[in-house]
Amino acid sequence: MATRRARTEIIHRSCPLCEAKCGISVEVDRSTGTVATIRGDADDPFSRGYLCPKAYGLKGLQEDPDRLRRPVRRVGSDWEEIGWEEAFELAASRLREVRAAHGADAIGTYVGNPNVHDLGSTLYLGPLLRGLGTRRQFSASSVDQLPKMLSAFLMFGGPLAIPIPDLDRTDFLLVLGANPVASNGSLMTAPDIPGRLAALRARGGKLVVIDPRRSETARLADEHLFIKPGSDAYFLFALVHTLFEERLVRLDRLESHVRGVEAVQTLAKEFSPEVVARATGIDALRVRRLARRFAAADRAVCYGRIGTCTQEFGTLASWLVDVVNTLTGNLDRPGGAMFPRTATGPAADAPKPRKLPYGRWRSRVRGLPEAFGELPAATLAEEIDAAGDESIRAMVTVAGNPVLSTPNGNRLARALESLEFMVSVDIYVNETTRFADVILPPVSPLERSNYDLVFNGLSIRNISKYSPRVLEPPEDSRDPWEILAELAGRVNGASADAVDELVLSHLLSSAVGSPGSSCPDVSVEEARKQLGDRRGPERILDLMLRAGPYGDHFDPERSGLSLEVLRKAEHGLDLGALEPRLPGMLATESGAVELAPALLSGDVSRLRARLSERTADDRLVLVGRRHLRSNNSWMHNIHSLAKGRDRCTLLVHPTDAKRLGLADGARARIRSRIGAIEAPIAVSEEMMPGVVSLPHGFGHDVEGTRMRVARQHAGVNSNRLTDEAQVDALSGNSVLNGIPVEIAPA
Ligand code: SF4
């Protein structure tokens, strides 16, 4: 038998799986076109060799026989492979038909989280969504960070103007509703969280975690306090109250750039630590002591994440996190909460205030407001099954699995089944895409290049790194951007190239050649000439880098970033620690930090009205949790990650287990207002009494999917318990934590 000599090559790039963006070194056997090993890149200046187990899963993902390589069309309960031309034409013609018969809003779209991890998807989703012309757009944002985007816009003027913990320089880190040791950070790009937290402790810093579970992060903390799910806004207001009452407020450098301090003081008056203690479950003295310690620390930062967003008062809690940072002088200063400067952003701070994109239209059934062009994912099912003549008839999903990741997944599954047509851009036939008529699978993450447009803007250091493709894509395959551009073009009778040109010319006109642009002295023609006639996202990335704050500005005399420069820096570039950016970057109409925006202040009455009810509420409630080897719903078909003990267990405190007759290892029946499921019980003191926990993203045992490994480790879908009727009233974000449940032995 002939043998092929191994011809290996090592490619350095970023791991595309989560926000941490660790540097990876992938050894490729060019003779077979396969991945030999994946290691942490020790020379990556940001991650310094750190990896979590998911990175090795990239090899499993690459080789997964269940991953789709060619478009498929559903035929009855089966699937058949078809060519790209046929697939695109089928998708575009059916979408055009639905639009012609029922209007553009009869098409719904759902966009999942992996899109923001891919350069091409980030750039070309917009043209597709605009091309469809529908106002019924949904995404994973409204089961995740939408409240933070809303509060950031109101306070600082932009949905992504989110202050990030300056993790490497802080002395005091207060964490709420986040488990960065398992999630690897979220709205905080920071590889090697365990190492960075150890460094915080080693330099004498303190870590305090507020969470209804003694999570992996809480176990490393100097202090962990249990909190009743959904009560973060009360807790944060109690901190704010104490800061004012004990005269601990100091704005320092920002004194003349913050509006609304007195208004916040007035709002906080009625939420003393003593008044909210029963609602939060946290002793008032401990809250007061924490407020004093936080205010006394030289450099402190409060960090709130998904748990603070996916609750009844998600926007208020998100806002109050930044209020605490501001009132203690920790906003926009080293060691506090700071704003990154991305290599692809504008060359200089030249904010253009704009009106909040909010409430311009509403969902048909419940009348919930749009935010940033999207309707809440919690309304998707009813917009299909209960909107009568105005119902959604066709869906486009892109790298999303809302049946597992949005509330009342069962209802959504039934609704999707009733559609006239559905097209999915996805690599799996999963719990959602099984309802599609046609699935368009892009190449794998290792078969395409990448750059992190979004996460560099949420990073604890200013960084820039280009990720080259590792493997040659198979013949006749498509990059995500090609699929999106082709679809966007075809639904409007245009070509993918025309869509590509549209994206480029739009960005060119705002980046060069006009007063106020990043390169006012460079003509559009000159920039275009230097960019060359490549197609696709890399040309646009080159434009953004060159016109950005570290760019060469198309000037041969000026050294600076370009795609070519970045390609040569194969381990990535560290552009330095975060630097103060206020007031220059503020894009509020007043030009100041708005500490008490009217929309948020107005919602405090809702918080006040619920206080007595929450104080008296002793029902058992459910929260979610995250595991290091899991990434929402989509990496459960990879054997190396899925193997081992069952991770989809119901965590119950021993007191509750005894009271309810639940035995460790036995099964429990969990019932909420909307459904019931069974799960194995794990009795654990890590839970707060009165709170139980199930991870999300499981429930792979439904008919019609093609994910064999996931099916063997199916788990249960926690979103068969979460309630689509429960949303944060301001943002419409789903409430996924604090779900009242009843539990009995199964
Ligand atoms: S933490 Fe893990 S999944 Fe996230 S980027 Fe790093 S290696 Fe990838």
Per-residue pLDDT for 270 more than 90?
yes
Instruction: Summarize the confidence of residues 615-623 as an average pLDDT.
Output: 94
Per-residue pLDDT for 352 more than 90?
no
d(CA 251, CA 322): 13
Residues with CB under 6 A from ligand 1: 15, 17-18, 20-22, 51-52, 54-55, 184, 191
Q: Return the pLDDT at 632.
A: 81
Distance, CA 53 to ligand 1 centroid (Å)?
8
Q: Return the pLDDT at 151.
A: 98
Per-residue pLDDT for 105 more than 80?
yes
Q: What is the pLDDT of residues 80-102, one digit of tens each?
A: 999 999 999 999 999 999 999 99
Distance, CA 181 to ligand 1 centroid (Å)?
11
* Ramachandran area for residue 247 (φ above 0: left; ψ -120 to 50: alpha; else beta): left
d(CA 21, CA 26): 14
Nearest CA to ligand 1 atom 5: 21
Tokens of 530: 């230097």
Peptide bond into 583 cis (omega under 30): yes
Tokens of 463: 């960084």
d(CA 544, CA 187): 22
Q: Return the pLDDT at 435.
A: 98
Q: Return the pLDDT at 4.
A: 54
pLDDT band at 357 (very low <50, low <70, confident <90, very high): very high
Q: 647: how many CB neighbours lie within 10 A of its CB?
A: 18
pLDDT band at 630 (very low <50, low <70, confident <90, very high): confident
Strands 72-75 and 438-440: what pairing?
Answer: antiparallel
Tokens of 515: 């007063």
Instruction: Summarize the confidence of residues 21-25 as an average pLDDT.
Output: 97
Length of the chain: 746
Per-residue pLDDT for 208 more than 70?
yes
Strands 691-693 and 621-623: what pairing?
Answer: parallel
Distance, CA 145 to ligand 1 centroid (Å)?
20
Per-residue pLDDT for 3 more than 60?
no
Instruction: Check if the beta carbon of residue 95 is closer than 8 Å to that of residue 132.
Output: yes
Instruction: Check if the beta carbon of residue 115 is closer than 8 Å to that of residue 425.
Output: no
Mutate to test the pocket of ligand 1, among 17, 26, 59, 192 (most ligand atoms within 8 A of CB): 17
Distance, CA 192 to ligand 1 centroid (Å)?
9
Instruction: Summarize the confidence of residues 205-233 as an average pLDDT.
Output: 98
Q: Return the pLDDT at 6.
A: 65
d(CA 263, CA 260): 5
What domains are defined for the chain? 72-144+374-440 (3.40.50.740), 146-344+581-604 (3.40.228.10), 619-745 (2.40.40.20)
Instruction: Summarize the confidence of residues 403-421 as an average pLDDT.
Output: 97
